[in-house]
Amino acid sequence: MNREVPMAGDFLSVLAAQKLTPLRADRAMAAPVQTQATTVFAFHFSDGVLMAGDRRATAGNVIVTDRIDKIIEIDAVSLLAIAGVPATAFEMARVLQTSFEYYRRSQLQPLSLPAKVRALARLLRENLPMTMQGIGVVVPLFAGLDQTATTPQPRIYFYDPLGAQFQAVGYAASGSGATTIRSILSFQEQDGQPRPSQMSL
């Protein structure tokens, strides 16, 4: 049986000539619009850094609880905002709290901010097997005080799931609602504004 297959044109033309589709119909449906999402974010303002987030923990489209604390105090000058799998994120927070306190007591001085940032990056890299399986992904934010400068400066860092760290200039957001909050913050002027106006934002 002879079938005429076009020799010129793109691959989709060949598929069309054979009456084939590049995607299965049941997989080509658009994902449902997500009207609720969980988000953590941080930004600079005149008094330092403000870090906030919602209190919901979700499993797919189901709200498991709305009483979870996603902003965790690691030490007196460090905060961690968790986004991702709570069990893994809380364990990372406990490890950081213990490690920072042990260093402070054993060395009689606090750990430097760059060392704290790298410690969290290392935990994320160690979590790579769980991340690759899609069952332990954590994408946190970290805020701390850089005390090595002449005047202590607050810093914000964000990470990717594999442990790469980036310093945020003005703001950072993570979680399933991060795209929306970034759009909002990009049109706001945080630096130089007092705390009441930032709390209202």
137-160 pLDDT tens trace: 999 999 999 988 788 899 999 999
Q: Which domains does the chain have, with CATH numbers?
A: 38-200 (3.60.20.10)
Residue 15 Cα distances to 9, 26, 143, angstroms: 11, 18, 52
Structure tokens that stand for 171 in this block = 């703001």
* Catalytic residue set: 38
* Banded pLDDT at 189 (limits 50, 70, 90): low
pLDDT number for residue 120: 98
Asked if residue 29 has pLDDT above 80, the reply is no
**Spatial contact of 154 and 49, defined as CB atoms under 8 Å apart:** yes
Structure tokens that stand for 174 in this block = 């993570």
What's the pTM?
0.77
Beta bridge partners of 154: 145
**Spatial contact of 168 and 74, defined as CB atoms under 8 Å apart:** no
Q: Nearest 10 degrees: CA dihedral of 70, 74, 79, 85? A: -30
pLDDT number for residue 35: 47
* Banded pLDDT at 4 (limits 50, 70, 90): low
Alpha carbons 31 and 169: distance in angstroms, whole number:
33
Structure tokens that stand for 162 in this block = 């594999």
pLDDT number for residue 153: 92
* Banded pLDDT at 62 (limits 50, 70, 90): confident
DSSP assignments along 116-138, one per residue: HHHHHHHHHHHTHHHHHHTSS-B
- Give the residue carrying structure tokens 């060392």: 115
Average pLDDT, the chain: 83
For the chain, percent of residues with pLDDT exceeding 70: 77
Nearest CA to 173 among 35, 52, 18?
52
What is the rounded average pLDDT of the residues 15-41? 62
Asked if residue 105 has pLDDT above 80, the reply is yes
Asked if residue 58 has pLDDT above 90, the reply is no
pLDDT number for residue 123: 97
Alpha carbons 105 and 147: distance in angstroms, whole number:
18
Asked if residue 27 has pLDDT above 80, the reply is no
Asked if residue 70 has pLDDT above 90, the reply is yes
